[in-house]
């Protein structure tokens, strides 16, 4: 099985207030899914049993929020799909990945210090203050060692 870091950022609906990353994370976890766009990296190849770790970016966040397992393949979002978001205000998510075994971490417990230990951050020449630039892709692959680092910081094994 593979492991991935999913980076949640704010969502700006066509109308109404901006949803900050903790709100986006909570909403998707309440619905047992992660929704994504056609251009999202890695999601189309995810399989049941893969592990997802969630990092929340932006103001009032910048921490790992939890983890979950992929429950099955992504499904296209149609007019009959469950309504995670108001589809008129947030129409840009086109796929829905079902999740199971969601475990939430204490907000703020596993933060930037842990992210700095993840392999692709360590390998990057980016200075600490610019780490956010590495999070723009929405999803990154994690090594087994990365998973151990994140879970140890969260107090999970």
Angstrom distance (rounded) from CA 76 to CA 82: 11
> Could you tell me the residue ranges of all domains in the chain?
3-154
Residue 157 has what pLDDT? 66
pLDDT tens per residue across span 95-142: 999 999 999 999 989 988 999 999 988 888 887 777 777 777 889 999
pLDDT tens per residue across span 5-31: 999 999 999 998 999 999 999 999 999
Residue 73 has what pLDDT? 95
Task: Pick the closest to residue 77 from 65, 63, 93 (CA basis).
Answer: 93
Task: Pick the closest to residue 54 from 46, 62, 65, 44 (CA basis).
Answer: 65
pLDDT tens per residue across span 83-97: 898 888 999 899 999
- Check residue 42 and report its DSSP letter: S
Topology (CATH) of 3-154: ph1033 like fold (3.10.590)
Averaged over 48-52, what is the pLDDT? 98
Could you count the other beta carbons within 10 Å of the beta carbon of residue 149?
19
Residue 51 has what pLDDT? 98
Q: Decide: 59 and 110 in contact? Cβ < 8 Å.
A: no
Residue 129 has what pLDDT? 74
pTM: 0.93
Give the CA angle between residues 104, 108, 113 to the nearest 5°: 110
């Amino acid at each position: 099985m593979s492991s991935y870091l999913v980076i949640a950022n704010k969502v700006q609906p066509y109308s109404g207030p901006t949803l900050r990353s903790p709100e986006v994370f909570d909403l998707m976890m309440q619905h047992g899914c992660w929704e994504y766009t056609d251009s999202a990296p890695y999601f189309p190849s995810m399989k049941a049993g893969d592990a997802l770790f969630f990092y929340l970016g932006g103001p009032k966040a910048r921490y790992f929020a939890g983890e979950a397992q992929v429950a099955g393949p992504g499904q296209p979002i149609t007019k009959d799909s469950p309504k995670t978001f108001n589809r008129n205000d947030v129409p840009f998510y086109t796929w829905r990945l079902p999740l199971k075994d969601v475990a939430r971490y204490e907000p703020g417990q596993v933060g930037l210090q842990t992210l700095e230990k993840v392999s692709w951050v360590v390998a990057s020449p980016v200075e600490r203050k610019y780490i956010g630039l590495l999070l723009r892709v929405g999803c990154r692959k994690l090594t087994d060692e990365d998973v151990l680092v994140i879970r140890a910081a969260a107090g999970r094994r």
